[in-house]
Amino acid sequence: MSGGIARINGVIPLETDGWLPDGASTVLAESAGAGSHRVRIILELTALDPEGITYSADDFAITGLGSVESRLVWAYPEKAVVSQGEIMTATQVFEIPNQSIELLLQGADARLALGTEHHTG
């Protein structure tokens, strides 16, 4: 990733762990759409360059074979600036089709493989 390192520390299906963020989130209280499920992505960003990293959750999407681009349902933080030497953990929740394979989390200049542990059906 430009300005530093991006690493995925977790790809967790919401349907199996029941996680909800602190505070009210009406969108996460609703069920996922038919033929899809939700995954929580734990993304760690480490800024190495003097300019740091400018992060926006809206810059990220999940793509894969057998699916259209996924829908970002919730993120925290939504935007941040990570200064050189700092590490930030972001949580992103996406709704993805059940039949998708070879999934990638793609940002403006990052491509990270998600594996298959998120499949629930």
DSSP code per residue over 57-102:
GGG-EEEEET----EEEEEESSEEEE-TT-EEEEEEEEEEETT-EE
Segment (H or E) for 47: strand 36-47
Distance CA 87, CA 70 (A): 26
Question: Is pLDDT at 46 greater than 70 in this prediction?
Answer: yes
Question: Is pLDDT at 3 greater than 50 in this prediction?
Answer: yes
Q: Each residue of 68-107: pLDDT tens digit?
A: 668 899 999 999 999 999 999 999 999 988 877 778 898 8
Place 111 in a pLDDT band, splitting at 50, 70 and 90: confident
- Report the pLDDT value the prediction gives residue 27, as an integer from 0 to 100: 81
What dotted CATH number matches 4-19+32-114? 2.60.40.1240
Are 8 and 31 in contact, with CB atoms under 8 Å apart?
no
